[in-house]
C-alpha cells in the first residue's frame, strides 16, 4: 500500500505549477491532489478520501502513472482508468472527455459484499464512492446546503414555532457527515453529533465545522439542557458512540426533536460503523484480529441502535 508513496507534500497547487501540454489535464492533476490532501482526505496514506473506503487509487504506483500520463496528454487524447488502473492514452478529439473513469465494476453473479471485498483485496476493483474515484470531492461543503434545507423542512413538519431550541442528534464527523453541525448552525438548531474517532472530532473543530467538543455524557446533558433553555444556536461534538447518547438522553428526559445518522453503513465490517461498549482503538484491534467477532458486535449494536429509536418515539 505504501510503496511508491511520494515524499513531497500533496495538495491542490496553482494550475500553472503542474507540468503538461493540456490545461484540462493539469486541472485533473489538481483535482486528484486535492482529493489526497491530508487536510481533506480521511485516510490519505491509504488513498481513501471519504466514506471509510472511497478510494482515489488502489496504490501509489497508479497515482504516479496517472500523473505521468496526464503530464504527457494532449487535447486530442483521452486517458481511460478502471478502478484506479490507468489503461493508457487513447486518440480522441478536443471535445471528448480528457479522462473516462469507471470504478467498482463487478459481474452480477459475483457481486455480493464478500466477493467485492475479495476482489478489492486482490487489487482488481475499488469503491470510488461518488467523488473520490472521480476526483471531484469538495468535502462537507458539498452537502451543507441540502442538509440545511432538510433540517429546516423537518422543523416545519414538527410545528410552526421555528427551529430555535429544537435538538438535532446525529452521528458522524468523518467526511461528508462533517456538514451536519454547520448545517445545524445555519438552520438555527442545537445539534449534537457523536463521533467515535477523537481525531475526526478534533479535525472538524479545528476547521470550524463544529463549535464545541464534549467527552463526558453527564457534561453533555447539562450543556444541552442549558442550550435548550436559552434556545442557543450551537453545535456540539460528542466523543463517543451515538447509541450511548440516545440512551443517556432518554434516561435524562432530554427530548430529541430531530434524529439522523451519517455513519458509513455501506461498509459496516471495515470501519463504517463502530459497535457500542468498546473504544475506537479496541474496535480497530478487533477488526484486524477477530473480524467475525467484530461483525457480531456490529450486528448487536445495530439492533440496540434501532431499539432505542423505537423506545424514544
- Segment 38-58 shows an average pLDDT of 90
Which value, in Å, is the radius of gyration of the alpha carbons in the chain?
22
**How many whole angstroms separate alpha carbon 285 and alpha carbon 33?**
30
Angle between the N-to-C axes of helices 291-312 and 242-251, in degrees from 0 to 180, rounded to the nearest 10: 30
> pLDDT band at residue 271, thresholds of 50, 70 and 90?
confident
pTM beyond 0.85, yes or no: no
- Segment 101-113 shows an average pLDDT of 90
On the question of pLDDT at 141 being above 80, the answer is no
> pLDDT band at residue 113, thresholds of 50, 70 and 90?
confident
User: What is the share, in percent, of the chain residues with pLDDT greater than 90?
Assistant: 76
- Segment 1-16 shows an average pLDDT of 93
Q: Which residue has the cell 430531530?
A: 258
**How many whole angstroms separate alpha carbon 171 and alpha carbon 175?**
12
On the question of pLDDT at 133 being above 90, the answer is yes
> In this structure, what DSSP letter does residue 110 have?
G
- Segment 248-276 shows an average pLDDT of 92
Which domains does the chain carry?
15-102 (no CATH), 141-312 (3.40.50.10730)
- Chain segment 246-255, per-residue pLDDT in tens: 999 999 999 9
- Segment 139-144 shows an average pLDDT of 79
- Chain segment 180-196, per-residue pLDDT in tens: 999 999 999 999 999 99
Using alpha carbons only, what angle is made at residue 212 by residues 210 and 216, rounded to the nearest 5 degrees? 130
- Chain segment 166-177, per-residue pLDDT in tens: 999 999 997 777
> pLDDT band at residue 50, thresholds of 50, 70 and 90?
confident
Amino acid at each position: 500500500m505504501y510503496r511508491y508513496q511520494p515524499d513531497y507534500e500533496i495538495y491542490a497547487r496553482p494550475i500553472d505549477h503542474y507540468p503538461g501540454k493540456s490545461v484540462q489535464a493539469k486541472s485533473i492533476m489538481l483535482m486528484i491532489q486535492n482529493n489526497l490532501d491530508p487536510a481533506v482526505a480521511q485516510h490519505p496514506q491509504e488513498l481513501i478520501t471519504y466514506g471509510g473506503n472511497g478510494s482515489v487509487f488502489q496504490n501509489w504506483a497508479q497515482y504516479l502513472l496517472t500523473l505521468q500520463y496526464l503530464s504527457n496528454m494532449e487535447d486530442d487524447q483521452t486517458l481511460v482508468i478502471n478502478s484506479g488502473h490507468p489503461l493508457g492514452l487513447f486518440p480522441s478529439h478536443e471535445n471528448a472527455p480528457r479522462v473516462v473513469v469507471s470504478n467498482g465494476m463487478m459481474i452480477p453473479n459475483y457481486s455480493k459484499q464478500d466477493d467485492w471485498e475479495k476482489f478489492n483485496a486482490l487489487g482488481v476493483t475499488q469503491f470510488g464512492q461518488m467523488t473520490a474515484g472521480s476526483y471531484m470531492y469538495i468535502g462537507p461543503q458539498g452537502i451543507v446546503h441540502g442538509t440545511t434545507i432538510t433540517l429546516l423542512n423537518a422543523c416545519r413538519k414538527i410545528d410552526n414555532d421555528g427551529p430555535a431550541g429544537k435538538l438535532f442528534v446525529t452521528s458522524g464527523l468523518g467526511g461528508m457527515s462533517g456538514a451536519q453541525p454547520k448545517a445545524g448552525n445555519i438552520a438555527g438548531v442545537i445539534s449534537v453529533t457523536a463521533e467515535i474517532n477523537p481525531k475526526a472530532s478534533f479535525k472538524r473543530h479545528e476547521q470550524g465545522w463544529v463549535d464545541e467538543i464534549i467527552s463526558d455524557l453527564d457534561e453533555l446533558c447539562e450543556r444541552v439542557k442549558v442550550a435548550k433553555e436559552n434556545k442557543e444556536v450551537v453545535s456540539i461534538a460528542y466523543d463517543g458512540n451515538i447509541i450511548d447518547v440516545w440512551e443517556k438522553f432518554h434516561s435524562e428526559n432530554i427530548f430529541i426533536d430531530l434524529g439522523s445518522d451519517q455513519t458509513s453503513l455501506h461498509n459496516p465490517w471495515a470501519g463504517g460503523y463502530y459497535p457500542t461498549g468498546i473504544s475506537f482503538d479496541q474496535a480497530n484491534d478487533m477488526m484486524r484480529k477477530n473480524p467475525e467477532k467484530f461483525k457480531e458486535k456490529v450486528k448487536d449494536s445495530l439492533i440496540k441502535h434501532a431499539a432505542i429509536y423505537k423506545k424514544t418515539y
